[in-house]
């Protein structure tokens, strides 16, 4: 189980997060914490036209939450807002490629929740991502 959970891609993203940092004057930004574990993720997005021109994330927390946020920034770079809005929980799970148990689901979804909250401009609910 643990070997499965902490596959190379997760460990790699958590050790070497992609697009980590902040954007000075972001078009959209949002930050949230997972109150149960204390994971924190912030997403800064610069939108040009109808697409994600730049995205950066910052935060701290477990490998799952940070790797998932890092992967997400790679997934959405250059995508249209419609495409970003269409990203589902399943897309994230596919990208992570490891079995996420119920208790860790909130960690895995924190990045997506924060990004969608930033883009919609209203806090998104965990259950309806």
Partner 1 sequence: MATTIPAPTTLGASIRRDFPILQQENERGQRLSFLDSAASSQKPQVVIDAVSSYYAEENANIHRGVYTLSERATARYEEARQEVASFINAASPKECIFTRNTTEAINLVAQSWGRANVRNGDLIVITEMDHHSNIVPWQLLAEAVGAEIAAVGISDDGRLDLESLNRLLAREPKVVAFPHVSNALGTVNPAAEIIRRAKQAGATVLVDSAQGTPHLPVDVRALGADFLAFSGHKVLAPMGSGVLWGRLDLLQAMPPFLGGGGMIRKVEIGRSTWADVPARFEAGTPAVGDAVGLGAALRYLTRLDMAAVSAHEEALTRYALERLAELPGVTVFGPPAGEDHAGVISFTVEEIHPHDVASVLNGENVAVRAGHHCCQPLMARLGVVATTRASFSVYSDRDDVDRLAEAIMKAQRIFAA
CB contact at 8 A, 90 and 115 = no
What are the E-state strand segments in the chain?
Answer: 28-34, 39-48, 51-60
Tell which one of 13, 61, 108, 109 touches partner 1 (CB under 8 A).
61
Tokens of 42: 């912030």
Residue that is written with structure tokens 């036209």 in the block: 49
Asked if 117 and 101 touch (Cβ cutoff 8 Å), the reply is no
Name the residue nearer to partner 1 (CB basis): 26 or 30.
Answer: 30
- Give the three-class secondary structure for 84: helix
Binder among 25, 102, 121, 128 for partner 1 (CB under 8 A): 102
- The window from 2-10, 18-26, 83-91, 116-124 that contacts partner 1 (CB under 8 A) reads 2-10
Considering beta carbons, is residue 6 or 120 the nearer one to partner 1? 6
Cβ nearer to partner 1, comparing 3 with 25: 3
Judged by the rule CB under 8 A, the positions of this chain that interact with partner 1 are 1-6, 11, 35-38, 60-64, 101-104, 107
């Amino acid at each position: 189980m643990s070997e499965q959970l902490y596959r190379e891609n997760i460990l790699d993203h958590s050790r070497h997060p992609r697009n980590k940092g902040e954007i000075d004057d972001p078009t959209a930004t949002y930050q949230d914490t997972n109150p149960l574990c204390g994971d924190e993720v912030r997403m800064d997005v610069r939108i040009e036209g109808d697409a994600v021109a730049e995205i950066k994330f910052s935060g701290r927390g477990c490998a799952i939450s940070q790797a998932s946020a890092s992967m997400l920034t790679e997934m959405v770079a250059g995508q249209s807002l419609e495409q970003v809005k269409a990203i589902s929980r399943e897309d994230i799970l596919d990208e992570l490629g490891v079995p996420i148990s119920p208790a860790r689901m909130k960690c895995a979804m924190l990045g997506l929740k924060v990004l969608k909250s930033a883009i919609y401009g209203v806090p998104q609910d965990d259950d309806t991502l």
